[in-house]
Structure 1
Amino acid sequence: MLWKSFKAGDDKAFYELYDQYSDALYSFGMQFCKDSDFVKDCIHDLFLELHKYREQLRPTDSIQFYLFRTLKRIIHKQRLSMSLLKLDHKLEKTIRAHSPACDETIIDSERQEEGMDLLANAISQLTKVQQRALFLKFEQDLNYTEIAVLLNISVESARTNMYRALKSLRKSLSKHEISLNLFVLLYSKNQL
């Protein structure tokens, strides 16, 4: 009854949903992330999403399960998004850290920066699923089954996305005579 009232636009039902489930959602969210503020932000995002799309929500037999599943999705999505942002920054730091420290390396440094920019640009041309698959494979060292579960796709789709991503990177980078091995090397050493 509470869910139906909420979907019908009853603000009291919305507040009651929040009051009834926010503590349980917090405890559940802390199982996936130990950052209290981050979990609270995700719960806030969850309720904003619920309020925004209330008329389009499906009926549910278990409000708690629905809210838990949605919170888990939001947490994973936010963490992956934050990780991808860190990926670009770490890639830049790693490439700069590997440049020799002498005066005649200025040209090499500029080439490396250009290579990094080209690599970042090539990665940005990939689909979001391909970017996430690359990150999970090379940064997190996950297998295709684990990648498929986290991206909510089949194992075959995970393999296909990885193949297409690497093929696309190889094609983009070969135009500029940059080896895909640099990309794999940086990821495989977990220095990102």
Structure 2
Amino acid sequence: MKIVLVSIDDLELLNSLRGGNKAALDSIYTRYFNSLFQYGMRMLQDEDAVHDCMQDLFVNLWVKRNKLPDINNLRNYLISSLRNGINNFRLSEKKHESVQLNGEDHFDLKFTVESELIKKEEHNEKAVKLSVAMNKLTARQKEIIYLRYFEEMDYSEIAGVMDMTIKGTYKLSARALESLRLIMGVDKALVLAMLLSLKN
């Protein structure tokens, strides 16, 4: 299993944050803003709500700086915290509508022809086909594809963010890839090649 330790820079920032250095909080915000915002937008598709949830995350990070747990990967900790915050936000919104959430309808990643995938593939026909296929996946399948191929997390990191076992993430990823293969009617190797091309 791959073990990812917090970088020296992140460790220094965390130690400074715990010591009450607001500049460290600003640095963490600047460093991880794009990653957090992109992830949040794929959950909510509402810029104001995402900014509010991110603000709450960093306010809590500051207020609870002396009680922070041991953090092995700062980016993953922040994404996981944002995910929890957004889920709480959506729960509060649903309560106003008297609607109960279930495990599948509270997360919705939108893949469109305007996504980074399509931009990188220059509107390639295969990329459009992949985008359409992704929109047919379940919410959790979309999420694991996003974390694995857009955020480039390994399975142990994904397990932490999605609150699953590592074995469960392997199974979910395999089902998502198989679903993409069946929807697109292509070989699994081609699906993987297209997804892996996002890293380049």
Q: TM-score, normalised by structure 1?
A: 0.48
Normalized per residue, the structure richer in helix is 1
Q: TM-score, normalised by structure 2?
A: 0.47
Q: Determine which structure has more spread, i.e. the larger CA radius of gyration.
A: 1
